[in-house]
Chains A and B, each alone.
Chain A
Amino acid sequence: MRIIVCLKQVPDTNEVRINQETGTLIRDGVPSIMNPDDKNALEAALRFKDEFGAELTAVSMGPPQAKDVLKEAMAMGADEGVLISDRAFGGSDTWATATIIAAAIEKIGNYDIVFCGRQAIDGDTAQVGPEIAEFLNIPQVTYVKNAKFEGDKLEVVRYTEYGEYVFEVATPVLLTAIKELNDPRYPTIKGINEAYGDKGEEKIRVFGIGDLVVDSTQIGLKGSPTNVYKSFVPVKNKVSEIIDGNNSKDKANTLVMKLSELNLI
């Protein structure tokens, strides 16, 4: 079994501040971390590895320092890393990102499960996982809260605010993980020593544009159908209203009416 886990390196948003004038993130001096949902995806993959001895490949697209999340994944137990990095990939939106990552997954080949996080804490679109599945033309289950093998069938629980779905899916499949899926393990001392030493460096392959079969009109800034037109910090306007009425029943009725007018209930 081969499992591919997609890991995005993101700024630690607990430590990010926003430049009020430009509306952009101040990234200077902000530590980079593995996107939290992706850590749950990785943990789920590691548990399959513990159980069935799966081969686990961690994949990240980003600048050279994104290698750090691959090393962290190897310190936790991933077998190898693939860094997708090229100037030509810069400025990619979710469509372009997914196009490129899908091409890298095709190149790695022979996979049973592709695991993504539900959502990245910086871009926050939750699009990349589903798009990769579309480009690879494989089934997908998002918001995965539980995944286990029953014989050779994969049983997956999808969590939504309205209830849970239980699916039986065939592989290869793409799953997106939510934090309810598990508690990620810590990297081990041995894992850290190997991953951050020469051994770790040797286990990371770097894919550039020349290594992938991608349509160059679909990637990078030029190939991205979405463009950031403007980013701004939403202004918070607090307006309060005190509801009047003859008795509490009346007041409650008015409140319910108002809330449903606002589509809040």
Chain B
Amino acid sequence: MDFNFSKSEEVIQKVAREFAEKEVAPLAEEIDREGRYPFETFDKMVKCGFTGIAVPVEYGGSGGDDITKIIVISEIAKKCGATAAILSIHAVFVQTVLKFGSEEQKQKYLPLVTSGGKKTAFALTEPNAGSDAATVKTTAVLEGDEYVLNGTKCFITGGNVADYVVVFASTDPSKGVKGLSAIIVPTSTPGFSVGKIENKMGIRASQTAEIIFDNCRVPKKNLVGKEGQGFKIAMIGLDGARIGVAAQALGLAEGALEESVSYMKERVQFGKPIAALQGLQWYIAEMATKIECARWMIYRAAYLKISGQPFTKEAAMAKLNASETASFVTNRALQIHGGYGYMKDYPLERMVRDAKITEIYEGTSEIHKVVISRAVLG
């Protein structure tokens, strides 16, 4: 058993850390306050190859695997949860096309969305289909060589900035969940429009939009996989995506711990740095221990995935645990900062808000418990 990074992973971590400090951290407060999508940071992430992680070089990707993905997403999340969310959700589209796309689709879309700078979204959720994703109502009716899409998706990360969206729609409503299909929709297609852009608690710079399909026609060849495979594709996509959300949570927790450690050494009360107070030392011990636990659960889930073993249960556990750890640790970190932690001059209150989403999206904590208990009870 070997818990070490390879030399290239070490270097990637160093580079991602430098990138997060120099390119991501300086914008974090502003893009949160303004709820502004950081286009400039996305372009820089493209140049560094972050958008192409775990995609083979022949498709324009960067190579690497889920370990690389965890390293980069968590380093970015240390400084900005929203930027990490943008990267981690972009990867869901990319991995869906890589895993289920035809050779033609891979050749066409992957270079555009890995090194070509195009943005993406993954559109499953609808107003009445949240945790119960199987009840999707959006339809895609085949007319000649085209699918005609009608319906509304909500809470779609990047839905308003994406160039391509993978949409889960029913190609055969009579078959229920077995009638769902995954279809790639270029957002330049007539009939595609953006509705409400949500005003959110956290990850405010990663914009969350309603997207509307009104007789939106796309070529039949945009179908990913086969008709009726949509639900399976969505669930397998989300399995992998859990590792990304978990990495986001891990980074937030690590970032909050780092902030706390330096603050505790500087802040003086009762004539000595507050780091000397045992009550707070114990907080740090708990925070660090939970982070250690979260980290290795995530890397292990990734290891199982990379080595081709079943990983659904482990990825669900890693996501459940990491997201709860992120909320616990960021809250404790805010507490350690006292009144200053509550102020927007410090990043802690933002980290608390950014952490919360990791317990909700790409499957709520409760849904993860459903997945895990099913696997355990059989």
A-side residues, CB < 8 A to B, are 72, 75, 185-197
Contacts and interface: CB of A to CB of B under 8 A. Distances in A.
Contacts of A188: 47-49, 62
Contacts of A195: 8
Contacts of A190: 49, 52, 57, 61-63
A189 B7 contact: no
Interface stretch (B11-19, B219-227, B233-241, B270-278): B11-19
A193 B63 contact: yes
Interface residues of B, number: 21
Given A186-B19, A193-B63, A193-B64, A75 B11 contact: yes
Contacts of B7: 196
Contacts of B72: 189
B214 to A, nearest CB: 39
Contacts of A197: 8
Interface string B1-40: 0000011100110010011000000000000000000000
Nearest to B12: A192
A2 B62 CA distance: 26
Given A186-B18, A187-B15, A192 B8 contact: yes
Nearest to B19: A186
Interface in B52-68: 52-53, 57, 61-64, 68
A193 B63 CA distance: 8
B299 interface: no
Interface of B: 6-8, 11-12, 15, 18-19, 47-50, 52-53, 57, 61-64, 68, 72
A189 B12 contact: yes
A192 B49 CA distance: 10
Contact of B50 (A72, A189, A191, A193): A189
A186 B63 contact: no
A11 B127 CA distance: 57
A132 to B, nearest CB: 29
Contacts of A193: 8, 62-64
15 contacts: A75-B11, A185-B47, A186-B19, A187-B11, A187-B15, A188-B48, A189-B12, A189-B52, A189-B64, A190-B57, A190-B62, A190-B63, A192-B11, A192-B15, A193-B8
Contacts of B57: 190
A196 B8 contact: yes
A195 B12 CA distance: 12
Contacts of B64: 189, 193
In the A-B complex, list the 6 residue pairs whose CB atoms are closest, starting with the nearest: A189-B62, A189-B49, A196-B8, A188-B49, A190-B62, A196-B7
Given A189-B50, A192-B8, 5 more contacts: A187-B11, A189-B12, A189-B72, A192-B11, A193-B8
Nearest to B57: A190
Contact of A196 (B11, B19, B52, B62): B11
A105 to B, nearest CB: 27
A33 B63 CA distance: 25
A186 B62 contact: no
A75 B18 CA distance: 15
Nearest to B53: A189
A218 B18 CA distance: 41
B40 to A, nearest CB: 13
Nearest to B7: A196
